[in-house]
């Protein structure tokens, strides 16, 4: 009888310990976002894409947008330096954007 109580207690303690380790692995780190941060970045990405479309940038579809903890990265191709600057300005104008990393390149003439 006593052995069963000890075994049951040991199983419960191991279960709680494993649960703690599992939940700890889901916690955000400097390089990994938690679910609310991921959702915030997804919303921010959508808002920046909408701002690019609203600015009528001729090749907005060629500009990719990614967000990570409020930092927006623009990449892809644009027709002119003016279009690139217009895209950066549009992204900077969105609420929640902390900074913009511009990796947009100018298309070379064919």
| 77 within a domain of the structure (yes/no) | yes
- Of 4 and 85, the structure prediction assigns the larger pLDDT to 85
Say if CB 52 and CB 87 are below 8 A apart: yes
CATH number for position 75: 3.30.1340.30
| 15 within a domain of the structure (yes/no) | no
| 13 within a domain of the structure (yes/no) | no
How many C-beta atoms surround the C-beta of residue 29 within 10 A?
8
Q: What span, in angstroms and rounded, lies between the C-alpha atoms of 36 and 83?
A: 33
Regarding pTM above 0.75, the answer is: no
| 92 within a domain of the structure (yes/no) | yes
Token duo for residue 95: 């609420």
DSSP 108: P
What pLDDT is recorded for position 48? 95
| 23 within a domain of the structure (yes/no) | no
| 24 within a domain of the structure (yes/no) | no
Q: Which of 106, 54, 56, 55 is nearest to 78 (CA)?
A: 106
How many C-beta atoms surround the C-beta of residue 63 within 10 A?
23
| 1 within a domain of the structure (yes/no) | no
Share of the chain above pLDDT 70, in %: 82
How many independent structural domains does the chain possess? 1
């Amino acid at each position: 009888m006593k052995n069963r109580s000890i075994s049951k207690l040991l199983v419960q303690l191991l279960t709680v310990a494993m649960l703690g380790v599992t939940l700890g692995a889901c916690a955000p780190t400097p390089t990994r976002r938690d679910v609310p941060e991921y959702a915030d970045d997804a919303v921010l990405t959508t808002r920046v894409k909408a701002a690019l479309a609203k600015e009528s940038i001729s090749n907005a579809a060629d500009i990719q947008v990614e967000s990570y903890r409020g930092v927006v990265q623009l990449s892809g191709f644009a027709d002119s330096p003016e279009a690139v600057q217009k895209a950066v300005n549009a992204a900077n104008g969105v609420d929640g954007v902390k900074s913009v990393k511009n990796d947009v390149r100018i298309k070379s003439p064919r």
